[in-house]
Structure 1
Amino acid sequence: MTNRALLINASLIAIVIVAFYLLYKAYCNLKELKEENDRLREMNLLLFKEYVKNCRAIPEDIQSQLTELTEKYEHIDSDIATELISTLEVYKNGHSQDCIVRLGKIIENLLSKKVAELSPARRRTLKDLIDSAKNLRILNEQEWNICEAIRGVRNKLAHEINVQINAGWTSITLLGAIQIIFQLSGEIKPDVI
């Protein structure tokens, strides 16, 4: 074998070693990022739990049901956790109608992502998303009914003047909507399944 052939072989071996090293480093970085992401998602859920536990303006029965719901999940997306906390703030301040609109917005966003994963992407109305989610078995009958109720109230608020909503209905919708949001964005703990 000539010197030139040895040099080429040595260069190829060096390139392969460098490539493997870079792949290994990328794998390690990806693993670290995934672990950090999981840790942040768990912290978001803990933050939401703490908020629910310490929020005195939320009725105790709703607090206990929200706490029970959070115990079922490992983590939740940070944007969703932030949006839910600000929605509960709106509810706490007595703006239940705005709270329903915000919950509808969160559900619409999550359904848009879930439906797009399973069905050809196109711009859909909330009604289309809710119906598609039911047909694709993303939502069950009860969840579909809650989403339809939220959609109906959202439409009334957008098109009618001085809309009045029953406080009991608002509480039930709040819990149902948050349960749907957790179901669409969270991950159930393995021991709960």
Structure 2
Amino acid sequence: MSAPLRSVAVFCGSRFGTDPAYEQAAVEVGRTLAERGIQLVYGGGRVGLMGTVADAAMAAGGEVVGVIPRSLDEREVAHAGLTELHVVETMHERKAIMAERAEAFLALPGGMGTLEEITEQWTWTQLGIHAKRSAFYDVGGFWRPLATLVDSMVESGFLTPAHAELVTFDADLESLLANLALPLPAQTKDYDARP
């Protein structure tokens, strides 16, 4: 039986993207987390989908924790109206604090930063650094090419089926949140060493 989630880190674009469905999904995620009493942990920005998910959570009475590197804060990208805003020196610090504060990780559509952040957390689970689930909210099929690549990694022998199952791709937010709340044992990385 799963315990209710208390916090979720959301990784998403600092742009809105070309499909209005992306912004609608960001609103849905922020509002839903707040309504369920789940703290939102995110990158601290006020622009693009990042700002949208934070604004939606705050508008619904939720707690929002932002973590932003000083270089971005100095460009006036930081969101001023959050429950907590942590200004850190590096991207590494940002990701470490987000990983510490969150019980699970969810990616909305975004660019390379979004992809790098969510796959790092997935890797940390695979390596046994933490036992937290990751998920991709597949809005309009945005993450489908990545899901296909993951299948190819398994078929090609670079990823075990068990490690592939550490991450979920789904277009249904209810299903994603239910999956993120399931307990997950720590993983250990196995190697195909040849003599």
Q: Which protein, 1 or 2, shows the higher relative CO under an 8 Å CA cutoff with sep ≥ 6? A: 1
State the TM-score, normalizing by the size of structure 2. 0.27
Higher strand share: 2
Larger radius of gyration: 1
